[in-house]
Structure 1
Amino acid sequence: MEPITGKTLTDQELLRYSRHIMLPELDIEGQQRLKAAKVLIVGLGGLGCPVAMYLAAAGVGELLLMDFDQVELTNLQRQIAYNQSAIGKPKAEALAETLRGMNSDCVATPIVEKASQDNLLQWITTADLVIDATDNFAVRFAINTACVQAMCPLVSGAAIGLQGQVTVFDSRQPASPCYRCLYSPEGEDQLRCAETGVLGPMVGLVGTIQAIEAIKVITGIGEPLLGKLLLVDGKVMEFRTIKMAADPACPVCADSC
């Protein structure tokens, strides 16, 4: 990885992140990489809330928070960054306010826009990493396409009912598949928690795993879920991993594989 420049930790930051710095895998250099990073989070619901909160607490320098929706009463069962006073406010602005209260050194930038093929590339090209925390297949495909075009790593998560999944795509790596390698837009069921329900802690678990994977990608520690799909079954509390390969005929990433 390239050396970090211009992101020296202050004495206050050395104290704040001391439990991170104690980890031999992370150390001061890893914390500096977090401070230098800019992460785009698309979707600020049950997945986006824990991801954003953990990344802000971990010391990520800037979080771009993208969601066009407003906080509703039904969100509060699982979207833990919001309280009752936030009902009716744009999620991006309410979450930014929460994160600033947690860590004033983290720049939280709200983007009150609906994610689409038209605007995603504009934001993704400014980011070091993207978190897909949406529950809409069309948006997921649009995020994936933009990440492949921008050569930007993507941490994808999903949860419904008592089931969840997480994976990492990184088009900078020749063997990495992309979201389109796994799923086809034809015939995808639009399963959303608004219609089928979801257990609150399940989205928290998946979002937390996404935050861990994001930190691993940013800092270069461990082995991210690259080419692997982690499946979580909350009903019996089982975890299993499926290996994935890039599709040589993928219409999105085949040229970059």
Structure 2
Amino acid sequence: MRYARQVLLDGWDVSAQVRLKASTAIIVGAGGLGCPASETLARAGVGHIHLIDDDTIEMSNLQRQTLFTASNVGQNKAETASEVLNQINPLIEVSYSMQRLDAQSMDDLSDLIAQKRHESLVPHSADHSTILLLDCTDNFAIRQLLNEISVVERLPLLSASAIAMTGQLALYEPYKNTGCYYCVFGEILTNKSVEQNCANSGVLASTTTVMGNMQANLALQYLGLGHNPLSGQLLNWDGKHMSQHNLRFKRDYSCKVCAGQIG
């Protein structure tokens, strides 16, 4: 009964719901994007959600980070979000890591991926993974690490960004020779002078909610149906003018991240 309205959808049936139950969403960042994305995935029935964030909740976060209230200020974001998600849907497994993704913690993430592959009742294939990496950060260095993990582990990377009244979204599948995050953004990832985030540029409360739920929408289609409606495309959303357009991208065969890893 919990998922009855999803099962009624055209093209979505009990089999799709079972695939969701057997899937894992690893979400890096439990803030403006991670809160709405993880909540929707939890309500929809994704079997395991793992949150990674070392940050603590501040009063300024409450404007857009929808899983938190004033009583949570000072608490760890990943831990608090995990507790809320468990209350929202006790039928799924929610876990968390209170750490920042960096070169030292990448091994922990690789171990988690190996564990979830071993536990999965649905086999990992070249066309469809039961594990999805969600980039819900606002930090280029972390995105670079996530992209490297995506390439090395041959996992899809669903990356979203939100700033001011604009957002971007893409689901990268580098193991299909369609390109990785670095193929699209290249040296921008190492140029700190162009890095923008909510703290230095501001963001409307609705922007992160819209982009986080668009990220969740794409995650559900991928995990439940094995479908990537944005294959080879970068979605750009403009909230000020209520417009959207997609840009096509291709693999950069000289990419310093995926060129040596993907045949």
Pick from 189, 197, 203: which aligns with 2:202?
197
Query: Secondary structure of the residue that 1:236 maps to in structure 2?
Result: coil
Question: Partner residue of 1:58?
Answer: 44
TM-score, normalising length: structure 2: 0.89
Pick from 78, 88, 96: which aligns with 1:102?
88
2-side partners of 1:166 and 1:173: how far apart?
18
Query: Secondary structure of the residue that 1:82 maps to in structure 2?
Result: coil
Show CA shifts across 1:110-140 (max 9, x none).
1100111332353252451100000000000
Question: Partner residue of 1:33?
Answer: 19
Q: Is the 8 A contact 2:141 2:190 kept in 1?
A: no
> Aligned-residue CA RMSD in angstroms?
1.3
2-side partners of 1:107 and 1:207: how far apart?
20
1-side partners of 2:242 and 2:13: how far apart?
32
1-side partners of 2:169 and 2:75: how far apart?
29
Pick from 246, 251, 263: which aligns with 1:246?
251
Work out the number of aligned pairs and report it.
Answer: 242
Q: Which amino acid aligns with 1:214?
A: A
- For structure 2, which runs of at least 5 residues remain unmatched after alignment? 117-130
Show CA shifts across 1:211-236 (max 9, x none).
01111111225543121000001110
Question: Partner residue of 1:141?
Answer: 144
Query: Secondary structure of the residue that 2:237 maps to in structure 1?
Result: strand
Pick from 156, 159, 163: which aligns with 1:156?
159
1:12-51 equivalences under 5 Å are: 15-51=1-37
Q: Between the two proteins, what is the percent identity of the paired residues? A: 35
TM-score, normalising length: structure 1: 0.91
Q: Which runs of 4+ in 1 moved over 3 A?
A: none
Question: Partner residue of 2:128?
Answer: none
1-side partners of 2:3 and 2:12: how far apart?
11
Show CA shifts across 1:129-160 (max 9, x none).
10000000000001100111000111000011
Q: Which amino acid aligns with 1:182?
A: V
2-side partners of 1:171 and 1:117: how far apart?
21
1:124-139 equivalences under 5 Å are: 124=110, 125-126=113-114, 128-139=131-142
Show CA shifts across 1:184-232 (max 9, x none).
2343512111011000110100000100111111122554312100000
Q: Is the 8 A contact 1:25 1:221 kept in 2?
A: no
Task: Summarize the Cα distance change of 1:217–1:121 in structure 2 as closer, same or farther, 3 Å threshold.
Answer: farther
Question: Partner residue of 1:7?
Answer: none
Question: Partner residue of 1:182?
Answer: 184
- For structure 1, which runs of at least 5 residues remain unmatched after alignment? 1-14
Q: Is the 8 A contact 1:155 1:168 kept in 2?
A: yes
2-side partners of 1:223 and 1:36: how far apart?
18
